[in-house]
Amino acid sequence: MRRRPRQATLLALLAALFCATLVAPPAASAAVGLRVSGTNITEANGTNFIFRGVSHAHVWYQDRLATSLAGIKSLGANSVRVVLSGGRWTPANNAADVANVVAQCKANKLICVLENHDTTGYGEQGGAVTLDAAVNYWLSVQSALTGQEDYVVVNIGNEPIGNNAVTPGWAQATSSAITRLRTAGFQHLLMVDAPNWGQDWSFTMRDNARTVFNADPQRNTVFSIHMYGVFDTASEINAYLDAFRTAQLPLVIGEFGHNHSDGNPDEDTIMAQAQTRGIGYIGWSWSGNSSDVGYLDMTNNFNASSLTSWGERIFNGANGIKSTSREATIFGGGGTDTTPPSIPSTPSVANITSTGATLTWSISTDTGGSGLAGYNVYRRQGTADTLIGQSTTNTITLTGLTPNTSYQVLVRARDGAGNLSGNSPVTTFTTTSGGGTDTTPPSTPGTPAASNVTTTSATLTWAASTDTGGSGLAGYNVYREGGALLGQSTTNSITLTGLTAGLVYRVYVRARDGAGNLSANSPTVTFTTTGGGTTGCTATATAQSQWGNGYVMQVVVTNNGTTTMSGWTVTATLPSGHTITGSWNANLTTGSGTLTARNVSYNGTVAAGQTASFGFQGGRPDNSTTLPSAFTCTAL
Residues with catalytic annotation?
Answer: 159, 255
Helix, strand, coil percentages (3-state) for the chain, rounded to 5, are 20, 30, 50
Cα-Cα-Cα-Cα dihedral sign, residues 177, 178, 181, 183: negative
Instruction: Count CB neighbours of 415 within 10 A.
Output: 26
Instruction: Count CB neighbours of 100 within 10 A.
Output: 15
What one-character-per-residue DSSP string does 116-134 give?
A: EGGGTTTTTSTT---HHHH
The Cα–Cα gap between 125 and 2 comes to: 10
The Cα–Cα gap between 358 and 403 comes to: 15
Helix or strand holding residue 390 (H, E)? strand 384-391
Contacts for 203 with CB less than 8 Å, ≥ 6 apart: 17, 18
The Cα–Cα gap between 84 and 87 comes to: 9
CB 141 within 8 A of CB 108: no
Cis peptide before 285 (omega within 30 of 0): yes
Contacts for 429 with CB less than 8 Å, ≥ 6 apart: 349, 352, 357, 406, 407, 409
Alpha-helical runs (H) found in 288-385: 309-316, 321-324
The Cα–Cα gap between 13 and 15 comes to: 6
Task: Kindly list the distances between the CA atom of residue 555 and the CA atoms of 17, 108, 136, 631, in Å, as whole numbers in the listed order.
Answer: 13, 45, 41, 9
Q: Which amino acid is at 402?
A: T
Phi then psi dihedrals of residue 138, to 5 deg: -60, -35
Residues 500-521 as b/e (b if ≥16 CB within 10 A, e otherwise) read: bebbbbebbbbbbbbbbbebee
Q: How many CA atoms lie within 13 A of 319 on its CB side?
A: 22
Q: Which amino acid is at 361?
A: W
The Cα–Cα gap between 273 and 243 comes to: 14
Helix axes 234-247, 204-215, angle to 10 degrees: 30
Question: Residue 571 pairs with which residues in a beta bridge?
Answer: 596, 632
Strands 52-56 vs 40-42: parallel, antiparallel or unpaired: unpaired
